């Protein structure tokens, strides 16, 4: 029984240690970077950080695309299988869940012609998802940990937000409360909350839609900002949405119906949030003459270049290229995207390193350790 009772104070100490980690949150995070290879792009990362999707290219530019891939830190990049007709040469594995199931699209050109929604149940199996009877074109953009896939289909020249199932597809018929048609479903939270873009031809608005709701919510725009707003990402817990309102990236909290502008990096005039995790950390890109990927931690906006460990930054240039971007972030802080490495567009995965606690943290840890000793002595006395 003494061994059993000893577990309790140890567990308490571990919880205390975990509760102290945010003490270092005010200092910039530090990252190690991994290359996905020349002429690649990292597209998305699972919420648990175990899987990353990306694209290959067979020359030095963003033309002549090949199949997508699924990357893990232990196994590297595994090419996803071909699917569709032989003409479907462009693969976009747009999202991946914690089971490694990938949702995306294949098309006949780099511009998305003839796109079909696709589900990769693993790195060896691919299935074209069904489309509604009135449609021959569709794309999958999001998947949650329950396996629900969302995206868009085209019918009569118009795009409609859609939920894809294994045997059928359901166009989302709800509109926003102000009557805008839901055109693109860009992501879905584990709660079933869907986020995307709505419009009526002249207006573009971000929206979210909860399961069972009769209308979607138009999330509005930033104060004194553009009425053209797009919502690109939603956190796994559904508490945060990110995108762009005019030229400004934002983070939106449905609970309080609050949209907050994400500060732009110095000398940048525009930007957009691409992905957000369950802690409200956002990644995206901002720029002017160049494109600079950023991380926003709820308080500060950092250039990813400045977060790399010293030696790891050699060869990487995240500030001068026009195609640099951060496109995905996991709940434990992994980031994926693309940047220049030795002058070549290269996909990357950035993995956070353990931050050294500040002196105040050590002091609190000492108190926690002392409490463990006292608890142990009382239990074994």
What is the extent of the structural domain holding 373?
1-27+368-381
Per-residue pLDDT of the chain in tens (381 residues, 90 and over written 9):
333 333 333 233 333 333 333 434 468 999 999 999 998 999 999 999 999 999 886 554 445 556 799 999 899 999 999 898 888 888 899 999 999 999 999 988 766 788 999 999 988 899 999 999 889 999 999 999 999 999 999 999 899 999 999 999 999 999 999 999 999 999 999 999 999 999 987 889 999 999 999 999 999 999 876 678 999 999 999 999 999 999 999 999 999 999 999 999 998 999 999 999 999 999 999 987 789 999 999 999 999 999 998 787 899 999 998 889 999 999 999 999 999 999 999 999 999 996 433 433 333 334 333 333 333 333 334
Helices and strands, counts by H and E, the chain: 2, 29
How do residues 188-200 score in pLDDT, each as one tens digit?
Answer: 999 999 999 999 8
Distances in Å between the Cα of 273 and the Cα atoms of 30, 81, 199, 259, 277 are 20, 30, 20, 13, 11
User: Are the CB atoms for 93 and 107 separated by under 8 Å?
Assistant: no
In a domain, residue 360? The reply is: no
Burial of 149 (0-12, 13-18, 19+ CB in 10 A): buried
In a domain, residue 376? The reply is: yes
Are residues 56 and 133 both part of a single domain? Answer: yes
Say how many domains are in the chain.
2
How do residues 260-306 score in pLDDT, each as one tens digit?
Answer: 999 999 989 999 999 999 999 999 999 877 899 999 999 999 999 99
Are residues 16 and 148 both part of a single domain? Answer: no
In a domain, residue 17? The reply is: yes
Q: What is the Rg, in whole angstroms, of the alpha carbon atoms belonging to the chain?
A: 22
Are residues 9 and 65 both part of a single domain? Answer: no
Cα 136 to its chain centre, rounded Å, is: 28
Are residues 12 and 156 both part of a single domain? Answer: no
Are residues 330 and 379 both part of a single domain? Answer: no
In a domain, residue 363? The reply is: no
Among 244, 250, 252, 207, smallest CA distance to 228 is for 244
Supply the DSSP string of 232-296, one letter for each residue: EEE-TTSS-EEEEETTEEEEEETTTTEEEEPPPPTT--EEEEEEE-TT--EEEEEESSSEEEEEE
Are residues 16 and 107 both part of a single domain? Answer: no
Q: Which two tokens mark 215?
A: 């209308």
How far is 344 from 211, CA to CA, in rounded Å? 43
pLDDT of residue 258: 97
Are residues 126 and 18 both part of a single domain? Answer: no
Q: Strand 125-128's sheet: what is its strand order?
A: 90-96, 102-107, 116-122, 125-128
In a domain, residue 186? The reply is: yes
pTM recorded for the entire structure: 0.85
Cα 228 to its chain centre, rounded Å, is: 22
| Residue 376: φ, ψ to 5° | -65, -45
How many degrees, rounded to 5, is the angle at CA 254 between CA 327 and CA 292?
Answer: 25
Among 79, 55, 47, 49, smallest CA distance to 323 is for 55
């Amino acid at each position: 029984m003494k061994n059993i009772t000893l577990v309790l104070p140890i567990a308490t100490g571990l919880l205390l240690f975990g509760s102290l980690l945010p003490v270092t949150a005010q200092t910039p995070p530090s990252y190690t970077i991994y290359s996905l290879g020349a002429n690649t792009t990292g597209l998305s990362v699972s919420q648990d950080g175990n899987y990353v999707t990306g694209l290959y290219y067979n020359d030095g530019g963003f033309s002549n695309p090949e199949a997508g891939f699924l990357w893990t830190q232990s196994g590297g990049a595994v090419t996803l299988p071909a699917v569709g007709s032989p003409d479907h040469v462009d693969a976009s594995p747009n999202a991946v869940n914690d089971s490694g199931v990938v949702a995306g699209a294949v098309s006949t050109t780099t511009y998305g012609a003839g796109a079909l929604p696709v589900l990769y149940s693993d790195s060896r199996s691919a299935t074209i998802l069904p489309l509604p009877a009135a449609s021959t074109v569709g794309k999958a953009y999001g998947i949650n940990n329950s396996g629900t896939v969302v995206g868009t289909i085209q019918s009569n020249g118009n795009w409609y937000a859609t939920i894809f199932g294994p045997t059928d597809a359901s166009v989302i018929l709800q509109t926003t409360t102000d009557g805008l048609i839901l055109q693109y479903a860009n992501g879905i939270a584990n709660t079933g909350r869907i986020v995307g873009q709505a419009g009526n031809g002249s207006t573009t608005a971000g929206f979210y839609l909860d399961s069972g709701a009769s209308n979607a919510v138009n999330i509005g725009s930033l104060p004194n900002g553009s009425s053209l707003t797009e919502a690109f990402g939603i956190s796994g817990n559904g508490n945060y949405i990110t995108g762009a309102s005019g030229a400004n990236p934002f983070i939106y909290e449905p609970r309080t119906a609050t949209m907050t502008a994400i500060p732009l990096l110095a000398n940048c005039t525009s930007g957009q949030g691409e992905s957000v995790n369950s802690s409200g950390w956002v990644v995206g890109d901002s720029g002017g003459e160049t494109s600079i990927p950023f991380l926003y931690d709820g308080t500060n906006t950092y250039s990813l270049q400045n977060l790399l460990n010293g030696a790891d930054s050699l060869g990487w240039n995240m500030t001068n290229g026009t195609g640099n971007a951060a496109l995905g972030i996991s709940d434990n802080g992994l980031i994926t995207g693309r940047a220049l490495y030795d002058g070549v567009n290269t996909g990357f995965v950035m993995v956070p390193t353990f931050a050294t606690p500040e002196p105040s943290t050590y002091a609190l840890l000492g108190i926690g350790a002392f409490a463990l000793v006292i608890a142990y002595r009382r239990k074994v006395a």
